[in-house]
Amino acid sequence: MWENTKVIRSALEEKIRTRAARVGIVGLGYVGLPLAVEFARAGFSVTGIDVSQEKARRVNAGDSYVGDVPSATLGPLVKSGKLRATVDFSAVAELDTINICVPTPLRKTKDPDMSYIVSACQQIAGHFHAGMLIILESTTYPGTTDELVLPMLSKSGLEVGRDFFLCFSPERVDPGNPKFQTANIPKVVGGCTPACTKMGGLFYSQALERVVPVGSTQVAEMVKLLENTFRMINIGLVNEMALMCDRMGIDVWEVIDAAATKPFGFMPFYPGPGLGGHCIPIDPFYLSWKTRQAGIEARFIELAGYINGQMPHFVADKVQNALNDAGKPVKGSRIHVMGVAYKRDIDDMRESPALDVMLLLKRRGAVLSYSDPYVPGLRVDGMDLESAPEESVTAADCVVIVTDHSAFDYQALVRRACLVVDTRNALKGVNSSKIVRL
Ligand SMILES: NC(=O)c1ccc[n+]([C@@H]2O[C@H](COP(=O)([O-])OP(=O)(O)OC[C@H]3O[C@@H](n4cnc5c(N)ncnc54)[C@H](O)[C@@H]3O)[C@@H](O)[C@H]2O)c1
């Protein structure tokens, strides 16, 4: 038995070291596609599996739909046969490793929606075999890998740490970040057993610059939740500061810039129109859901969630007040939103606070338009809009900068607009009575 274990382990180690291991990535989205590309670039033969026919088709055509992956990088990898995509899970039978990168959204009740992980694992289990390394990368509550994924794979009769290897490794990608991308962001990995951690670490070290092994899957799961909760709470704190400063007539941006000159013990966070994206507004609620089961209320998370959730309302009030001061009622006013993606220089609309701000203003009777070089059309919640040229600000009663894309011409904007509400301090250093800052 022990001999057999050693054989399975060293065979997989050997395949990984020599890059003969056949790598699988389940879920080819913002996380999965860049990861697939990194392993293909490192010389592995990579198969991406997605439920979306369209994504599989585009990958196989070398046509990237993820901003951080240029088609010029993807295309040659597909052409050389290093990377392919499929919707057929029977490919698992031929694979040695699988990274699971499927969505982990919240249900309407703010409970974790584990259906994507469960469905992916069920599909993998149907073709699972000895000698595989499986790594869950989807952000989730501590305990998921051991309590949910492991039992599904163990039904095969295979034993973890002996016949197969199972880890959790949090994905830390920051879409649109030009400095840190998949390859140079340190990779935390924790396995169900020490042998699993070792195998996971060996695997990532073939394609990524630095691996950080930790003692268990739960630690690795919690690392991600600490990182994202840290951001969410600090953003909540600074948003509350913005509300306080607004009431007291203090410029919150100037306060933060000055505080940031302290060379130790302070890290600047910035206020804004609300939280967006698929991580910060969602992940901390995975933690609070889990801790509630253990009898602990995650009070910081709930409070920061409440304050951050108020910000779109605060922005809508600011716009309405600015229009009132200009002698125009919000009802019937033309409001032009600059930037609708959830953050600068990306095309991702998920949870974007721009949508909340726009809906609130629409409900108050405003006539909306927007410009966003990354989002050509907007068809949600009864809105059906197309991105207008930046010159459209001339015709607006009020312009609201919601997402501060670097492609916008801010000088021209101030020249052309008659009133600007700036929720991002994009007009830092510009002095004009037209500008109302958050
Ligand atoms: N986007 C980010 O910046 C980011 C950063 C860190 C962590 N994460 C986490 O990584 C995970 C993936 O996020 P994402 O942004 O890549 O999501 P995404 O929606 O961009 O991609 C997920 C992909 O999984 C596919 N999919 C869904 N169910 C599937 C199934 N059963 N089998 C195979 N494929 C399936 C979808 O079609 C989609 O292509 C989430 O848990 C997220 O919280 C995301």
Residue 28 CA: nearest ligand 1 atom is 39
Average pLDDT estimate for 203-216? 97
Q: pLDDT tens digits for 46-74?
A: 999 999 999 999 999 999 999 889 999 99
Among the ranges given (141-145, 277-281, 296-300), the one the predictor scored with the smallest mean pLDDT: 277-281
Centre of ligand 1 from the C-alpha of residue 105, in Å? 9
Report the distance separating Cα 391 and Cα 395, nearest Å. 8
Average pLDDT estimate for 198-204? 98
Q: pLDDT tens digits for 112-126?
A: 999 999 999 999 999
- Tokens linked to 39: 């392993």
Centre of ligand 1 from the C-alpha of residue 250, in Å? 41
Q: pLDDT tens digits for 355-390?
A: 999 999 999 999 999 999 999 999 988 889 999 999
Report the distance separating Cα 340 and Cα 355, nearest Å. 7
Q: Which of the residues are catalytic?
A: 279
Q: Confirm whether pTM is higher than 0.85.
A: yes
99 ligand 1 Cβ < 6 A: no
Q: 246 phi and psi, to 5 degrees?
A: -60, -45
> In the prediction, which pLDDT does 162 show?
95
Q: Which of 174, 188, 278 to mutate to test the pocket of ligand 1 (most atoms within 8 A of CB)?
A: 278
Report the distance separating Cα 314 and Cα 294, nearest Å. 35
Q: pLDDT tens digits for 13-53?
A: 999 999 999 999 999 999 999 999 999 999 999 999 999 99
> In the prediction, which pLDDT does 191 show?
98
Q: Is-contact 144 122, C-beta < 8 A?
A: no
User: Helix or strand or coil: residue 356?
Assistant: helix
> In the prediction, which pLDDT does 3 show?
60
User: Helix or strand or coil: residue 26?
Assistant: strand
Nearest CA to 59 out of 37, 39, 31 is that of 37
